[in-house]
Copies of this chain bind each other. A is one copy, B any other.
Amino acid sequence: MLAVGVKPIIILVETQLPENLGSVARVMANFGLSKLRLVKPQAQPLDPKAIALSVGAFDILDDVIITENFEEAVADLNYVFATTAYQRDMIKAYETPKTFVDLIKKPEFQEERFGIVFGPERTGLTNDYMARCHKAITIPVNPDFSSLNLAQAVSVIAYEWFQSQSSQALKACIQLGKTTLATQGQMNGFLNLLEKNLDQTNFWRVSTKKPIMWRNLQNLFTRLDLTQQDLKTLCGVVDALSKSLDKKPD
């Protein structure tokens, strides 16, 4: 499923919380990444809190490379992307996660080793670190609430990378025309009417079979994209059928 492209290396600078090391390792594993490097970490990768939050991505924490300076951490890489919550007063190309993924798909990147650098939780990367990176990636967020958790930032970029490497089949949507979908309240009204009336018949036959039969029936109606008019019609059908039942002699 994965294309031939090179996997990005995640580089965390001066990370403060062991929980974040664990969460980053977990989400890296979720999205098929495995190489983690730490520059001057304030938290230790084998801290019990890191291991607990990695939820099984222990190998990533165990294989981590720790360096005392940034230059050493990136010496073997051809290309280094900084991440930042905001654009600095510094000449630099800023990519979104989507344009980053488009960029690294280009032929000239197919053979390159590249890293993505994330700064400390409280401050992000200093301009000194930024100056040593080729380009920056900024995740577009709500400008009124732009402080993204470290593991969430890794998550979004790793997710985009993984998507770009996977072939995802697109699903078709059902055309509704000009009608309006029913609300779930209307759907519940219909389902309750249906259940009540079915209870009065021999529909379930064996009462132990009702839960699974009823779940299947609910699923059947719920996935039909029924409109408000559809539901009115169906309620009418159920009503009519039940009244005819009432009138039947025993």
Contact = CB atoms under 8 A, between A and B. Distances in A.
A155 interface: yes
Contact of A30 (B127, B146, B180, B220): B146
Contact of A78 (B135, B183, B220): B183
Contact of A80 (B173, B175, B184): B184
Contacts of A111: 180
A92 B219 CA distance: 8
A58 to B, nearest CB: 11
B132 A168 contact: no
Interface residues on A, range: 35 or more
Contact of A152 (B113, B130, B155): B155
- Stoichiometry, as copies per complex, reads 2
Interface in A59-113: 71, 74-80, 90-96, 98-99, 102-103, 106, 108, 111-113
Contacts of A26: 147, 149, 152
Interface in A173-193: 173, 175-177, 180-185, 188
A99 to B, nearest CB: 5
A43 B128 CA distance: 42
Contacts of A233: none
A222 interface: yes
Interface in A139-166: 139-142, 145-149, 151-152, 155-156, 159, 162-163, 166
Contact of A223 (B77, B93, B149): B93
Interface of A: 23, 26-27, 29-32, 55-57, 71, 74-80, 90-96, 98-99, 102-103, 106, 108, 111-113, 127-128, 130-135, 139-142, 145-149, 151-152, 155-156, 159, 162-163, 166, 168, 170-171, 173, 175-177, 180-185, 188, 215-216, 218-220, 222-223, 225
